[in-house]
C-alpha cells in the first residue's frame, strides 16, 4: 500500500491494504482502478476531511462536478440510486462511489448492469417502468433542445410501441424481469 | 427498491455461498446487486460459517486445510498480480477508452478490429519467420547486388537476393555440421504455409462463430423500438458536446422510426414505384460496369507491365519507376470509385439509411474483390507461364509494391479526406461542417490490405512483418486524425452487428478467396526451374508425395502413410465428412425451430 501511495503522488492519506483487498473482492474493479478512484474521490473532498476519506461523505453537488457525470442526462438518477445516505440527500461515501464505478466497469456482468439500469430508469421508484417513467426516460434521451422534444402524439405512439414489444404479461408496465429479458436480447447494451 | 429477502432466505443464501469454492464465492458476491455494506455483512457471515465448519472438521484433519487454504490464497494473489501486469502491457487500452468516450462505440469497433488484425499479423510473422526464414539465414548465399534507396519502393534490385522473396530460399536440406540434425527446407516451407493457413482458418471460424452467437441470438427482436430505446444510451460518452449531439440524433432517429411505422414509405403510386425500380437497376448496372471497367484497365496495364519487365531487363530509374504504375493505378481506383458509389447511393432513395449503407458497402466489396481477382488471375495464369526466370519472385514483388502503395494512399487519404476537409469545412465552406469518420471505407481498406498480405505469404514470407509496421503507423495516424479532425458519427449504427459483419467480410470473400488462390498455386502451377525451394518439381505438392514415398520404406511411420493414402487423398473420406456436417447442421436447425415454438407457447401462457 505504501508503494501504491508513493505512485499516486501527493494523494495524502493511503488506503489500508486489508481494505484494498476487501474492495477488490467485493467489486469488479482491479487494484489500479480502486486506487485511482480513491485519488479522484479524495481530490473532491475539502482538505480537512482527506485524512479519513473512507468514511467521509461527498455532497451531491460535488459528485456532479465529475466530468463523467457532468454531461450525463441521468446524473440525478445515478446519484440517487447509488447513494446510501439516510436522509435521501444524494450524498455518496467512498464505498458508494466504488459501487457506482464497479457497476459501470467493463467487468461487470450483464445482470448487475441491467438491474441498476432498471433502477436508474425507474423515476418514481415503484419497482416498475410505467408510462410516466417511460415518458421521462424519452425526454432525458432526447434532451432539452427546442427541436428535439417529441410531440404528445409521437410520445404516445412510441410508448405504445415499446409496451407492445416488451410487456409480456400485459399489465401496462415493464417490471425487472421483462427489462432484463429485453436487455439480454440486445447485445448493444 | 429491491426484493426483500426474508430472514430464512438470507440464511439459505449464506449456506449456498459457504458451500462454494473460494473463487466461485467471490464471483457470486460480486454479482449481487447490493450496496457494499450489505455485501460485506454477507461475506463476514459466510466466512464465520466456514471457519465454524472447519473447526468441526479440525479434529480429523489437523492443519492440512489451513495449509491448503494458504497456498490457494497465495496462488490467487499471484494470479491477480499477473493479470495486473498484463493490464500495464495494454498500451492501447487507455487510447481506446478515450476514443470510445468521445466518439462512441461504433468508431471504437474499427480501432478494436485494427488492433486484432495487428495481433494476428504479429502471430503470422512469428510463425513464418521462425520456421522458414531463420533456417535460411544459416544457409544464405552472399548478395552481390548493390543497394540503392529506390528498392524500398519497388522491392526489386537488392531485395531480390534476400530472404524477402521466395526465389532466395534454397531447396536443399540444411545442416550446420556434417551428419548433424538436418532441416528439409522444401518440406518446411510447404508445411509451414499449409499449417499456418489451417490455424488461421480455425481462429477466424471461432471468432466469427463467437461474435455471431453473441449478436444474432434472436433476429426478431432486432427491429424492436424497445430494445433500441432502452439500450441506446452509451454511458461511455463523457464529452458534453457529444452528449448533446447524441441526444439530437436519438430524437431524430425516433421521429424517423415513428414516421416509418405510421405511414409506410411504399405509399407511392404504381408509376413511381416502377421509376424507383428502374433507378435502382440503372445504379446497379453503373456500379458493376465501373467495377468491370476498372478490372479491364488493371488487366491490360499489368500485361503491358509484364512485357516491359521480361523483355527489357534494364535496371535503370525509368523502368523501375514504370513498375510502380500498376500499384498506383490500382490504389487510385480503390480510392476514387467509392466516392462514385456513395454518390449513387444518395441518388437512389432507400427505405432506411441502414439499407443504403449496406448497399454501398456491398458495392465497394465487389469492386475490391474484382480487382484482387483479376490480379490473381494475371499472376497465376500469365506470370506463371511467362518466360521470366523466377515468376514467384515477380509476383512477390508485385504484391510488395501493392501493399506499400496502398499504405501510402491510406495515409494520404487520411490527410486529404480528414485534415483538408476539416479546414475546408471550417473556413471556406462552413455549412459542410466537420468530416465524419467513415467506418465502412476504412474497414474495407484494412480487409483489402490483409487479403493482399495473405496471398503474398507464399511468395514473400516476410510480408506480415511489413504489415505490422504499416498497421501500427496507420493506428497512430488514424487516431490522431480522428481526434483532431472528426466529429462523432451522426447515424446510430448497430455496433454489435457491425463487428460481426466485419468478421464475416474478413472470412468469407477474403480468406476463402485466399485459400483457393493458394490451393491453385500449390496444386496446379509449375514452380520455376531455377529458383526457390521447389525448383525442378512439376508442382509444389510433389514434395509431399515424394516424402510419403520415402516414408513407406520405414516401418515406424507406416501409420503416417496410411493416414495419407486413406484419409487425405481419398475423396470418399471428404464426402462422408461433408454428409455428416450437413446432417448435424440440419439437426441443429430443427432444434432451433422447436425452441422457437416453445417460446411462443410460453409467452402466451404468461399473458394468461
Q: What is the signed CA dihedral for B445, B450, B452, B453, rounded to 10 degrees?
A: 150
Q: Taking CB atoms and an 8 Å limit, are A71 and B240 in contact across chains?
A: yes
**Are A100 and A82 within 8 A, CB to CB?**
yes
* Of residues B445 and B70, more confidently modeled: B445
H or E stretch at B183: strand B182-184
- Confidence category of residue B209, pLDDT binned at 50, 70, 90: confident
Q: Taking CB atoms and an 8 Å limit, are A24 and B37 in contact across chains?
A: no
Give B148-159 as a 3 state SS string. Answer: CCCHHHHCCHHH
**Is A165 a domain residue?**
yes
Give the integer Cα–Cα distance in Å for B71 and B223: 52
Cell 440440419, located at residue:
B586
User: Do A119 and A165 share a structural domain?
Assistant: yes
Q: Over 80: is that where the pLDDT of B548 sits? A: yes
Cell 453537488, located at residue:
A61
Query: Could you state, in chain order, the average pLDDT of each consecutive group of 10 residues for chain A (189 residues)?
Result: 37 68 81 82 76 72 76 78 76 82 80 84 84 82 66 79 78 83 67
Longest dimension (CA), chain B: 94
SS3 (DSSP) at A83: coil
- What per-residue confidence (pLDDT) applies to B35? 78
Distance from CA of A67 to the nearest CA of B (A): 7
Q: Does A36 touch chain B (CB under 8 A)?
A: no
Q: Taking CB atoms and an 8 Å limit, are A157 and B225 in contact across chains?
A: no
Q: List alpha helices for B158-269, DSSP H.
A: 185-215, 225-231, 240-262
**Is A59 a domain residue?**
yes
H or E stretch at B291: helix B270-311
**Is A4 a domain residue?**
no
Q: Taking CB atoms and an 8 Å limit, are B496 and A111 in contact across chains?
A: no
Cell of B297: 484497365
User: Do A168 and A98 share a structural domain?
Assistant: no
- The lowest-confidence range among B121-125, B480-484, B584-588 is B480-484
**Is B45 a domain residue?**
no
What average pLDDT does this structure show over B28-56? 79
**Is A94 a domain residue?**
yes
Q: Over 80: is that where the pLDDT of B386 sits? A: no
Give the integer Cα–Cα distance in Å for B521 and B383: 12
Q: Over 60: is that where the pLDDT of B264 sits? A: no
What average pLDDT does this structure show over B159-168? 76
Full DSSP string of B38-107: HHHHHHHHHHHHHHHHHHHHHHHHTTHHHHHHHHHHHHHHHHHHHHHHHHHH-THHHHHHHHHHHH-HHH
User: Do A53 and A35 share a structural domain?
Assistant: yes
Q: Taking CB atoms and an 8 Å limit, are B235 and A161 in contact across chains?
A: no
User: Do A166 and A125 share a structural domain?
Assistant: yes
Q: Taking CB atoms and an 8 Å limit, are A84 and B35 in contact across chains?
A: yes
**Is B590 a domain residue?**
no
Where are the extended beta strands (E) located within B430-541?
Answer: none
**Are B464 and B121 within 8 A, CB to CB?**
yes
Give the contacts of B513 (CB within 8 A, at least 6 positions apart): B369, B372, B373, B376, B451
Picking from B29, B33, B606, the nearest residue to A169 by CB comes out as B606
Which residues sit opposite B487 in a β-bridge? Answer: B436
Picking from B29, B33, B217, the nearest residue to A185 by CB comes out as B217
- The lowest-confidence range among B25-39, B181-195, B222-236 is B222-236
Picking from B39, B218, B255, the nearest residue to A26 by CB comes out as B39
Nearest CA in chain A to B498: A188
**Is B534 a domain residue?**
no
Half-sphere exposure of B334 (CA within 13 A, CB side): 30
Contacts of B221 in chain A (CB under 8 A): 165, 182, 185-186
**Is B578 a domain residue?**
no
Nearest CA to A81 out of A119, A26, A51 is that of: A119
Q: Which of A143, A169, A176 to mutate to test the interface with B (most CBs of B within 10 A)?
A: A143
Nearest CA to B448 out of B426, B476, B465, B470 is that of: B470
User: Do A157 and A82 share a structural domain?
Assistant: no
Q: What is the pTM for the complete model shown?
A: 0.76
Q: Which domain holds residue A86?
A: 20-104
- What per-residue confidence (pLDDT) applies to B220? 41
- Alpha carbon B369 to its chain's center: 16
What is the tens place of the pLDDT at every residue in B267-291? Answer: 566 777 888 888 888 889 999 999 9
* Of residues B288 and B558, more confidently modeled: B288
Contacts of B215 in chain A (CB under 8 A): 187
User: Do A86 and A51 share a structural domain?
Assistant: yes
The 10 Å Cβ neighbour count of residue B223 is 11
Contacts of B87 in chain A (CB under 8 A): 30, 32
Cell of B197: 493457413
Specify the number of domains making up chain A. Answer: 2
Give the integer Cα–Cα distance in Å for B291 and B287: 6
- What per-residue confidence (pLDDT) applies to B250? 67
- What per-residue confidence (pLDDT) applies to B98? 76
Cell 502503395, located at residue:
B405
Picking from A98, A150, A182, the nearest residue to B226 by CB comes out as A182
* Of residues A14 and B403, more confidently modeled: B403
**Is B139 a domain residue?**
yes
For B415, counting Cβ atoms within 10 Å of its Cβ (0-12 exposed, 13-18 middle, 19+ buried), the class is middle
* Of residues B275 and B163, more confidently modeled: B275
Q: Does A41 touch chain B (CB under 8 A)?
A: no
Picking from B225, B238, B252, the nearest residue to A71 by CB comes out as B238
Q: Which of A77, A129, A142 to mutate to test the interface with B (most CBs of B within 10 A)?
A: A142
Q: Taking CB atoms and an 8 Å limit, are A121 and B37 in contact across chains?
A: no
Distance from CA of A80 to the nearest CA of B (A): 12
What is the tens place of the pLDDT at every residue in B364-385? Answer: 889 999 999 999 998 888 887 7
Q: Over 80: is that where the pLDDT of B469 sits? A: yes
User: Do A95 and A117 share a structural domain?
Assistant: no
Give the integer Cα–Cα distance in Å for B469 and B80: 32
Nearest CA in chain A to B224: A165
Cell of B67: 495449509
Q: Does A165 touch chain B (CB under 8 A)?
A: yes
**Is B7 a domain residue?**
no
A172 φ/ψ sector (left φ>0, alpha ψ -120 to 50, else beta): left
Q: Does A123 touch chain B (CB under 8 A)?
A: no
Q: Taking CB atoms and an 8 Å limit, are A188 and B494 in contact across chains?
A: yes
Cell of B20: 462454494
Q: Taking CB atoms and an 8 Å limit, are A99 and B26 in contact across chains?
A: no
**Are B162 and B411 within 8 A, CB to CB?**
no
User: Do A74 and A117 share a structural domain?
Assistant: no
**Are B435 and B487 within 8 A, CB to CB?**
yes
- What per-residue confidence (pLDDT) applies to B314? 57
Give the integer Cα–Cα distance in Å for B246 and B242: 6
How far is residue B193 from each of residues B14, B128, B457, B461, B520, measured CA to CA in Å? 56, 8, 8, 9, 14
Distance from CA of A34 to the nearest CA of B (A): 12
Q: Which of residues 75-104 of A touch B (CB under 8 A)?
A: 84, 95-96, 98-99, 102, 104
**Are B522 and B540 within 8 A, CB to CB?**
yes
Full DSSP string of A43-80: HHS-GGGGTTTTT-EE-HHHHTTSHHHHT-TTHHHHHH
Which residues sit opposite A174 in a β-bridge? Answer: A129
Cell 448493444, located at residue:
A188
- Confidence category of residue B65, pLDDT binned at 50, 70, 90: low
**Is B207 a domain residue?**
yes
Query: Which residue, of A63, A87, A104, is where some domain finishes?
Result: A104
What average pLDDT does this structure show over B500-524? 84
Q: Taking CB atoms and an 8 Å limit, are A186 and B227 in contact across chains?
A: yes
Cell of B174: 540444411
Query: Which residue, of A50, A77, A104, is where some domain finishes?
Result: A104
Give the integer Cα–Cα distance in Å for A118 and B583: 43
Cell of B426: 471550417
Give the integer Cα–Cα distance in Å for B41 and B54: 20
CATH of the domain at A59: 1.10.238.10
Give the contacts of A114 (CB within 8 A, at least 6 positions apart): A179, A180, A183, A184, A189
A-B C-beta contacts closer than 8 Å? 160
Nearest CA in chain B to A172: B607
How far is residue B397 from each of residues B323, B471, B479, B523, B555, measured CA to CA in Å? 10, 20, 30, 22, 44
How far is residue B416 from each of residues A7, B338, B490, measured CA to CA in Å? 43, 15, 21
How far is residue B59 from each of residues A187, B19, B62, B72, measured CA to CA in Å? 52, 20, 6, 21
Distance from CA of A42 to the nearest CA of B (A): 19
Q: Taking CB atoms and an 8 Å limit, are B243 and A73 in contact across chains?
A: yes
**Are B524 and B539 within 8 A, CB to CB?**
yes
Q: Which domain holds residue B412?
A: 83-264+271-529
**Is B554 a domain residue?**
no
Give the contacts of A51 (CB within 8 A, at least 6 positions apart): A12, A13
Q: Taking CB atoms and an 8 Å limit, are B37 and A109 in contact across chains?
A: no
Cell of B484: 483532431
**Are B39 and B29 within 8 A, CB to CB?**
yes
Q: Taking CB atoms and an 8 Å limit, are A182 and B255 in contact across chains?
A: no
Query: Which residue, of A104, A119, A139, is where some domain finishes?
Result: A104
Looking at beta carbons, which pairs linking B169-178 to residues 24 or more positions away fall under 8 Å?
B169/B132, B169/B136, B169/B532, B169/B533, B170/B136, B170/B139, B170/B141, B170/B533, B171/B532, B171/B533, B171/B534, B171/B535, B171/B536, B172/B139, B174/B135, B174/B136, B174/B138, B174/B139, B176/B138
The 10 Å Cβ neighbour count of residue B153 is 17
Q: Which of residues 127-146 of A touch B (CB under 8 A)?
A: 127, 137-138, 141-143, 145
Q: Taking CB atoms and an 8 Å limit, are A26 and B226 in contact across chains?
A: no
User: Do A169 and A115 share a structural domain?
Assistant: yes
What is the tens place of the pLDDT at every residue in B418-462? Answer: 788 888 877 877 766 677 777 778 888 899 999 999 998 888 888
User: Do A82 and A33 share a structural domain?
Assistant: yes
- Confidence category of residue B215, pLDDT binned at 50, 70, 90: low
Specify the number of domains making up chain B. Answer: 1
User: Do A170 and A114 share a structural domain?
Assistant: yes
Amino acid at each position: 500500500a505504501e508503494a501504491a501511495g508513493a505512485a499516486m503522488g501527493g494523494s495524502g492519506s493511503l488506503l489500508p491494504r486489508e481494505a484494498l483487498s476487501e474492495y477488490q473482492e467485493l467489486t469488479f474493479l482491479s487494484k489500479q482502478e480502486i486506487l485511482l478512484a480513491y485519488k479522484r474521490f479524495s481530490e473532491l473532498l475539502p482538505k480537512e476531511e482527506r485524512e479519513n476519506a473512507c468514511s467521509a461523505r461527498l455532497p451531491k453537488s460535488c459528485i456532479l462536478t465529475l466530468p463523467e457525470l457532468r454531461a450525463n442526462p441521468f446524473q440525478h438518477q445515478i446519484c440517487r440510486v447509488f447513494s446510501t445516505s439516510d436522509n435521501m440527500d444524494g450524498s455518496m461515501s467512498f464505498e458508494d462511489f466504488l459501487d457506482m464505478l464497479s457497476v459501470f466497469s467493463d467487468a461487470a456482468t450483464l445482470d448487475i448492469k441491467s438491474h441498476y439500469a432498471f433502477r436508474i430508469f425507474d423515476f418514481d421508484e415503484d419497482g416498475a417502468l410505467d408510462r410516466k417513467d417511460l415518458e421521462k426516460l424519452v425526454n432525458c434521451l432526447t434532451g432539452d433542445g427546442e427541436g428535439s422534444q417529441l410531440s404528445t402524439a409521437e410520445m404516445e405512439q412510441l410508448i405504445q410501441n415499446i409496451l407492445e414489444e416488451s410487456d409480456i404479461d400485459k399489465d401496462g408496465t415493464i417490471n425487472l424481469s421483462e427489462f432484463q429479458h429485453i436487455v439480454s436480447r440486445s447485445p448493444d447494451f | 427498491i429491491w426484493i426483500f429477502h426474508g430472514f430464512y432466505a438470507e440464511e439459505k443464501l449464506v449456506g449456498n455461498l459457504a458451500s462454494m469454492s473460494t473463487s466461485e464465492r467471490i464471483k457470486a458476491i460480486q454479482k449481487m446487486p447490493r450496496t457494499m455494506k450489505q455485501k460485506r455483512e454477507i461475506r463476514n457471515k459466510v466466512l464465520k460459517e466456514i471457519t465454524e465448519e472447519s473447526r468441526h472438521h479440525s479434529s480429523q484433519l489437523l492443519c492440512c486445510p489451513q495449509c491448503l487454504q494458504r497456498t490457494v490464497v497465495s496462488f490467487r494473489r499471484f494470479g491477480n498480480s499477473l493479470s495486473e501486469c498484463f493490464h500495464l502491457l495494454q498500451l492501447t487500452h487507455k487510447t481506446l477508452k478515450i476514443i470510445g468516450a468521445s466518439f462512441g462505440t461504433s468508431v471504437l469497433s474499427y480501432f478494436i478490429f485494427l488492433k486484432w488484425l495487428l495481433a494476428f499479423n504479429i502471430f503470422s510473422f512469428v510463425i513464418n519467420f521462425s520456421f522458414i526464414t531463420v533456417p535460411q539465414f544459416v544457409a544464405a548465399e552472399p548478395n552481390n547486388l548493390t543497394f540503392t534507396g529506390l528498392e524500398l519502393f519497388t522491392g526489386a534490385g537488392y531485395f531480390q537476393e534476400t530472404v524477402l522473396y521466395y526465389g532466395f530460399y534454397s531447396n536443399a536440406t540444411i545442416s550446420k555440421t556434417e551428419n548433424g540434425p538436418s532441416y528439409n527446407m522444401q518440406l518446411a516451407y510447404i508445411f509451414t504455409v499449409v499449417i499456418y493457413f489451417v490455424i488461421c482458418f480455425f481462429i477466424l471460424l471461432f471468432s466469427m462463430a463467437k461474435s455471431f452467437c453473441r449478436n444474432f441470438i434472436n433476429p426478431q427482436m432486432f427491429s424492436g423500438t424497445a430494445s433500441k430505446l432502452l439500450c441506446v444510451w452509451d454511458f461511455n460518452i463523457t464529452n458534453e458536446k457529444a452528449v448533446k449531439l447524441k441526444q439530437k440524433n436519438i430524437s431524430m432517429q425516433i421521429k424517423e422510426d415513428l414516421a416509418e411505422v405510421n405511414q409506410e414509405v411504399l405509399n407511392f403510386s404504381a408509376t413511381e414505384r416502377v421509376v424507383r425500380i428502374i433507378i435502382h437497376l440503372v445504379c446497379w448496372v453503373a456500379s458493376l460496369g465501373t467495377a468491370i471497367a476498372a478490372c479491364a484497365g488493371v488487366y491490360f496495364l499489368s500485361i503491358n507491365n509484364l512485357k516491359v519487365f521480361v523483355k527489357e531487363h534494364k535496371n535503370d530509374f525509368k523502368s523501375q519507376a514504370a513498375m510502380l504504375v500498376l500499384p498506383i493505378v490500382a490504389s487510385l481506383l480503390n480510392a476514387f470509385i467509392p466516392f462514385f458509389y456513395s454518390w449513387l447511393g444518395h441518388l437512389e432513395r432507400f427505405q432506411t439509411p441502414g439499407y443504403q449503407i449496406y448497399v454501398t458497402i456491398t458495392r465497394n466489396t465487389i469492386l475490391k474483390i474484382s480487382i484482387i481477382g483479376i490480379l490473381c488471375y494475371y499472376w497465376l495464369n500469365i506470370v506463371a507461364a511467362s518466360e521470366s526466370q523466377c515468376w514467384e519472385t515477380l509476383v512477390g514483388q508485385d504484391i510488395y509494391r501493392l501493399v506499400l502503395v496502398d499504405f501510402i494512399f491510406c495515409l494520404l487519404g487520411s490527410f486529404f479526406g480528414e485534415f483538408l476537409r476539416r479546414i475546408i469545412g471550417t473556413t471556406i465552406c462552413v455549412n459542410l461542417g466537420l468530416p465524419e469518420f467513415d467506418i465502412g471505407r476504412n474497414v474495407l481498406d484494412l480487409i483489402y490490405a490483409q487479403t493482399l498480405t495473405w496471398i503474398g505469404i507464399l511468395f514473400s514470407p516476410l510480408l506480415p512483418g511489413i504489415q505490422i509496421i504499416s498497421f501500427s503507423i496507420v493506428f497512430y495516424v488514424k487516431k490522431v486524425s480522428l481526434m483532431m479532425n472528426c466529429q462523432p458519427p451522426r447515424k446510430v449504427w448497430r455496433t454489435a452487428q457491425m463487428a460481426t459483419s466485419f468478421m464475416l467480410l474478413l472470412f468469407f470473400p477474403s480468406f476463402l478467396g485466399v485459400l483457393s488462390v493458394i490451393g491453385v498455386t500449390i496444386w496446379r502451377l509449375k514452380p520455376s526451374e531455377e529458383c526457390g525451394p521447389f525448383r525442378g518439381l512439376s508442382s509444389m505438392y510433389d514434395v509431399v508425395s515424394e516424402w510419403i514415398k520415402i516414408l513407406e520404406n520405414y516401418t515406424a511411420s507406416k501409420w503416417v502413410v496410411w493416414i495419407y493414402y486413406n484419409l487425405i487423398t481419398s475423396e470418399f473420406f471428404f464426402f462422408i465428412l461433408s454428409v455428416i456436417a450437413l446432417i448435424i447442421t440440419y439437426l441443429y436447425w430443427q432444434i432451433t425451430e422447436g425452441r422457437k415454438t416453445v417460446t411462443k407457447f410460453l409467452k402466451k401462457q404468461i399473458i394468461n
